[in-house]
Structures are given as structure tokens and as C-alpha cells.
Structure 1
Amino acid sequence: MAAPANDEITLVIDRAVAVVLFEFLSRTVDDADGEALAEFIEDESEVPALWALLAGLESVLTEPLAEDYERRVLAAREAVMKRFGGAFSGKGDD
């Protein structure tokens, strides 16, 4: 299968993962132009790349516009933890 002419890729991820990523990126990258991630950024191109990922998620997700968005984020976080487990021992088990 040939790559699209505009050099875009298609990424398939679980909807719950997409919602969790959207929420994370909204908080850390969209607010204050990514200043929350300043100490973790190695090159300034990483912030616009994360903005592009956030925009891509925003273009396909309906959850951010839902009245019960916060509940949906909580449910998505739960689903991700159930499927993949937590990254930090004891964290997220509340």
C-alpha cells in the first residue's frame, strides 16, 4: 500500500486511549502553549507536533463536545487502566 501523497499516516488506537490522550494534551500542550511540558521538551518542534496530534484527535472525537465530558474522561481513564494497567505502582488505584 502506497503512502498518501501528502505524507500523512493513519493511526488506529482505542477510543478510550484517544480520549485520555486528548484530555492530557488539552491540559498540557494547549494551555499556555505547552509551558507545562517545558522541562520535558528536547526540541521546540515537539510542541507543534503535539498540537497537531491534539488537533487530529479533536477532529475525530465527539466526547470533548459532550455535556458529560468529564464523566466520559473518567470512564476512558478507567478503561485504559483496566486494559493496560498503571505506569506508577500504587498510582491510579484510588
Structure 2
Amino acid sequence: MAAVANDEITLVIDRSVAVVLFEFLSRHVDDADGETLVEFVEDESEVPALWALLAGLESVLTEPMAEDYQRRVIAAREAVIKRFGGAFSGKGDE
């Protein structure tokens, strides 16, 4: 009998990135059942895929259960901006 291929992948990302993604997905995919993303998704399969990503992050992160979660989110956001820059940096500074 042939071995079944594993369809799972391992993704390595910075913890700060994971916290920022978790917070974003919690707000837009979990809390609102993906309704806030309706105009941004091309196919209805994308929302369950985001749910799966959120569940994966939730299974490895301890921050969401921390008493100081909001402070940790702020620190993670700052770390992401420091490392990668901001998506909207410089816009609106005219």
C-alpha cells in the first residue's frame, strides 16, 4: 500500500507578524464571519481558508489568552512596522 501524501505545510513567520495577522483575522474573519471582506474576496472558499489560517495561528500563539493582549498587539504592530515598514508610510503627509 502506498503512503498517503501529507497535504499540510509548515509556515515559518515572525511571532510579531503572527500576532498582527491573528488580530486582523479575528476582527474581520471570525468576529464578523467574513462579512467585512465580501467586496475583497474573489471566491467564497477564501473566507474558510482564512478561518483555517486563524485557527492555525490560535493553536500556536499564547498572546490571545494573555491578560495584556492589547498591549502585546500594539508591540507586535510596532515591531512589524520597524522590520518591514508601513504599507501607507508617507501617504497623507503632503
Same fold (TM over 0.5): yes
Alpha-carbon distance in 2 for matches of 1:27, 1:90: 26
Q: Over aligned residues, Cα RMSD in angstroms?
A: 1.3
- Between Structure 1 and Structure 2, the one with more helix by share is 1
| 1:6 to partner: Cα distance | 3.1
The residue type paired with residue 30 of structure 2 is D
Q: Which runs of 5+ in 1 are unaligned?
A: none
- Specify the structure having the higher radius of gyration (Cα): 2
Q: How many residues align?
A: 88
Alpha-carbon distance in 1 for matches of 2:89, 2:56: 31
Using the size of structure 2 for normalisation, the TM-score is 0.89
Alpha-carbon distance in 2 for matches of 1:53, 1:6: 17
Q: Which runs of 5+ in 2 are unaligned?
A: none
Alpha-carbon distance in 2 for matches of 1:33, 1:14: 26
SS of 1:39's equivalent?
coil
What's the % identity of the aligned pairs? 89
Alpha-carbon distance in 1 for matches of 2:23, 2:5: 31
The residue type paired with residue 89 of structure 1 is S
Equivalent residue for 2:36? 36
Equivalent residue for 2:49? 49
Alpha-carbon distance in 1 for matches of 2:56, 2:19: 12
